[in-house]
Structure 1
Amino acid sequence: MELPLFPTTVVGSWPRTREVLLGLRDRRADRISDADFQKIADQAVLDCLQAQDEAGIDIVSDGEQRRDNFISFVADKLENVKMLTVAELLDYVEDKASFEEILGKLDVPAYSLSNPAAFGKIARRKPIALDEYQFLRRHTDRAIKVALPGPYLLTRSMWVEGLSGAAYPTKESLAEDVVRILREELEDLIREGVAFVQFDEPVLTELVFTQKNANRTFMCGALTAKADAEEELQFATGLMNQVMEDMRGRGTRTGVHICRGNWSTQEDVLLKGPYSPLMPYLSQMNVDQLILEYATPRAGELAAIQALEGKELGLGAVNPRTEDIEAVQDLVNKAMEAAKYLSPEQIFLNPDCGFGTFAQRPMNTIDRSKAKLGVLAQAAQLLRQHYS
């Protein structure tokens, strides 16, 4: 599908309505059937699609309306994976007081987030996102983006010492099955003609910007990362490239999304620092695009994107966590600055992250989210006029 210059897209998630939240809760408690929940979610997806259409977005998503968050939804899709709250994960942490201190500083109550953990050999019970794509495809002619948890995120999240060890003695052994599962899903999505598959790897910034207790993470309850950031980044890069082997050039654009945390509207508790320490690794990832957060000063200077070496940039241009609606000209100026380092054909426009990453803790309202997408589309129109 041919795209215009400066294509606009989303990172994935959209705020859930009260009906969806109740549906998620009732399905989890077996008060309604999965079929009943899917009817609720179907309508929510159509409403999300309409919002993107009205805003003028070129590459749309289903808003992840069927997911409780960007990673834990896989527990319903995979064999031998169960959900644990962060509070339950504390049972597996040696230094409980330190871990609780980190969660407190990061505005993440231990009871409010849940984590998928492997307790046996994992395999796909059913497609991870293929069914979501198939429903959306029936209702739009626009290009579609599908977001999947990245292999490093899944591996760090699901390997919990004391729980996973019987099936997977090390997290590296679990990673082999994670890669296999993601390759199976990617093959299915490519076969179906998905325009864009985005892998989410939000923990990569934590490796370089979190100094204290570097083997702990706020995002996915992973308790196993090595303190050596370089070793972890090499591991993450290798996993991504294993997933992508022989996958490019088959009609589906692929990308990796790296943000600085999207769990709080309080900017001062989110990670801060330039992308430059990550660029040697990101430039080695065998994907078409890097989706990076640049709507906030916390991201550092745009000059770091020079290291992308021919890859596309998904330019984070609006902040999903703020109430203020960005000025169109500010977005135009940011894209023009990016065009000093990459060609206009390499630049896509998107929010920094999702608008509804956690179902129960959306980053913004539906109305403000739609308004932010609207200014994104307006900026793209001005940029097309300027560079055409």
Structure 2
Amino acid sequence: MALPTEPIGSLPRTPELLAGLADHAAGRLDRAGLDALQDQAVRDTIARLEALGSPVVTDGEQRKASFATYPLDGLDQLAPDGAVIPFADGHTRQLPRLTGGPFRYAQRAADHLRAAQRHATVPVKQAVIAPSALSLLYPADGIPGYDRDAFLDDLVDEAEADIRAALDAGAHVVQLDFTEGRLAVKLDPSKGLLESFVALNNRVLDRFDPAERARIGVHTCPGGDQDSTHSADVDYAELLPSLFALHAGVFYLQLASEPDPDRVLRTVAAHARPEQRIFVGVTDPIDPVVETPEQVRDRVLRAAEHLPPERLGTCDDCGFAPFGDDLSTSRETAWAKVRARVEGTALAAERLGV
């Protein structure tokens, strides 16, 4: 397929894995047993994606409790009372708070990548958390003996190492999850917070050469958790000019759920640089209604009215279950939406002659 299509990352966990996670938390299942269930879930996820014709796969984040906090799994310098992220339906997610330094990742995304590659026969992409999200771990009142600048220096080093290890392990692309971009505009309409996020992420991205940055992407959406969002009420146009200032080669944009996609696409066309490939969201994981291939085709054709087809790709708006306890979408619904995305993208490619 000349028009590329990729999943974003997370997929609903298998029922067996969800039961195993509960058993592990209750002390009824040891770590080895949980590892076996996670490996089985990764194998099943990749097999299902490949059976649906997905030319690129992910592990569905079956081994991660959260897309945002995997580097912290096993870290002991944390308290539970960190930044709170409110969602439109009233539920919240809370990040931990860093209590000491130096800051180091306890896990690397490349470990998940290598585990997935053992089961895949097509290229595997790897999602990583953007350093800007992890910068929220540092408390506003500081840490004695470990100032914010020292923390950010450590964070940049760790984020670079996380991305580089995944590239070196053969990731098709490494995708930075940057869902906090739109949220930053909501928290600070002056965009000072957003600009600081972009600057921090670019400190990391600038450590890679142009060929490497062509394999590094950025995903943005207004959050997607338990069928709710944290910043969909923020005008996309307030984010996009700054988003494309990120020194990445690929961008994955939530678009299927936007009420005025043409307006968004005009903004994208005005601000995206010529060397940047744009993957547009054509399926909405939050909407329980499964898109048809024809709907997906038409969404791609609309995007092609604003961007050259050779710079286009398709994706889902966001992950289906970024947090491991999100049960709002079934695996079967996710598979149906993936099928629609793959088949609809092929229909659009045929219509566009690419």
Same fold by TM-score greater than 0.5: yes
Shift in Å, 1:32 = 3.2
Secondary structure of the residue aligned to 2:200 is: helix
Q: Deviations over 1:274-333 (max 9, x none)?
A: 422222212211101111110113465221111112211121110001111112222112
Match of 2:238 in 1: 277
Match of 1:192 in 2: 169
- 1:117 paired with 2:82, answer no
* Rounded Cα–Cα distance in structure 1 between residues aligned with 2:258 and 2:113: 34
Match of 1:134 in 2: 114
Match of 1:152 in 2: 132
Q: TM-score w.r.t. structure 1 length?
A: 0.82
Q: Is the 8 A contact 1:274 1:304 kept in 2?
A: no
Secondary structure of the residue aligned to 1:59 is: coil
* Rounded Cα–Cα distance in structure 2 between residues aligned with 1:346 and 1:232: 30
Q: Structure 1 residues 137 and 251, CA, compared in 2 at 3 Å: closer, same or farther?
A: farther
Q: Deviations over 1:238-276 (max 9, x none)?
A: 111111124240486111111012124257x75234422
Alignment partner for residue 347 of structure 1, among 288, 312, 326?
312
Match of 2:46 in 1: 49
Identical-pair percentage = 24
Shift in Å, 1:82 = 2.9
* Rounded Cα–Cα distance in structure 1 between residues aligned with 2:105 and 2:247: 28
* Rounded Cα–Cα distance in structure 1 between residues aligned with 2:272 and 2:105: 36
Q: Structure 1 residues 299 and 193, CA, compared in 2 at 3 Å: closer, same or farther?
A: farther
Match of 2:152 in 1: 175
Match of 1:222 in 2: none
Match of 2:182 in 1: 205
- 1:304 paired with 2:304, answer no
- 1:9 paired with 2:13, answer no
- 1:378 paired with 2:339, answer no
Alignment partner for residue 78 of structure 2, among 82, 90, 95?
82
AA of the residue aligned to 1:35: A
Shift in Å, 1:124 = 3.8
Q: Is the 8 A contact 1:197 1:252 kept in 2?
A: no
Q: Is the 8 A contact 1:355 1:362 kept in 2?
A: no
* Rounded Cα–Cα distance in structure 2 between residues aligned with 1:31 and 1:177: 37
Q: Is the 8 A contact 1:234 1:281 kept in 2?
A: yes
Shift in Å, 1:229 = 3.8
* Rounded Cα–Cα distance in structure 1 between residues aligned with 2:166 and 2:91: 35
Q: How many residues align?
A: 348
Alignment partner for residue 165 of structure 1, among 143, 150, 153?
143
Alignment partner for residue 261 of structure 1, among 223, 236, 260?
223
Secondary structure of the residue aligned to 1:356 is: coil
1:216-295 → structure 2 map (5 Å cutoff): 227=188, 229-247=190-208, 248-250=210-212, 253-266=215-228, 271-295=232-256
* Rounded Cα–Cα distance in structure 2 between residues aligned with 1:384 and 1:204: 31
* Rounded Cα–Cα distance in structure 1 between residues aligned with 2:91 and 2:189: 27
Alignment partner for residue 30 of structure 2, among 33, 53, 69?
33
* Rounded Cα–Cα distance in structure 2 between residues aligned with 1:189 and 1:168: 29
Structure 2 stretches lacking a partner, 5+ long: none
Q: Structure 1 residues 125 and 177, CA, compared in 2 at 3 Å: closer, same or farther?
A: closer
Aligned CA-pair RMSD: 2.4
Secondary structure of the residue aligned to 1:60 is: coil
Shift in Å, 1:180 = 0.8
Q: Structure 1 residues 161 and 25, CA, compared in 2 at 3 Å: closer, same or farther?
A: farther
AA of the residue aligned to 1:340: E
AA of the residue aligned to 1:142: V
Q: Structure 1 residues 57 and 83, CA, compared in 2 at 3 Å: closer, same or farther?
A: farther
Shift in Å, 1:108 = 4.3
Q: Structure 1 residues 176 and 25, CA, compared in 2 at 3 Å: closer, same or farther?
A: farther
Q: Deviations over 1:65-113 (max 9, x none)?
A: 1111111232215x444362xxx448xxxxxxxx8xx94x733445xx4
Shift in Å, 1:167 = 4.8
Match of 1:94 in 2: none
Match of 1:70 in 2: 67
Q: Deviations over 1:168-190 (max 9, x none)?
A: 433x5422211110111112112
* Rounded Cα–Cα distance in structure 2 between residues aligned with 1:161 and 1:266: 27
* Rounded Cα–Cα distance in structure 2 between residues aligned with 1:293 and 1:299: 12
Q: Is the 8 A contact 1:80 1:121 kept in 2?
A: no
Q: Is the 8 A contact 2:225 2:321 kept in 1?
A: no
Alignment partner for residue 58 of structure 2, among 61, 74, 80?
61
Shift in Å, 1:53 = 1.1
Q: Structure 1 residues 83 and 41, CA, compared in 2 at 3 Å: closer, same or farther?
A: farther
* Rounded Cα–Cα distance in structure 2 between residues aligned with 1:28 and 1:73: 17
Q: Structure 1 residues 45 and 229, CA, compared in 2 at 3 Å: closer, same or farther?
A: farther
* Rounded Cα–Cα distance in structure 1 between residues aligned with 2:145 and 2:43: 41
Structure 1 stretches lacking a partner, 5+ long: 91-98, 215-226
* Rounded Cα–Cα distance in structure 1 between residues aligned with 2:244 and 2:218: 11
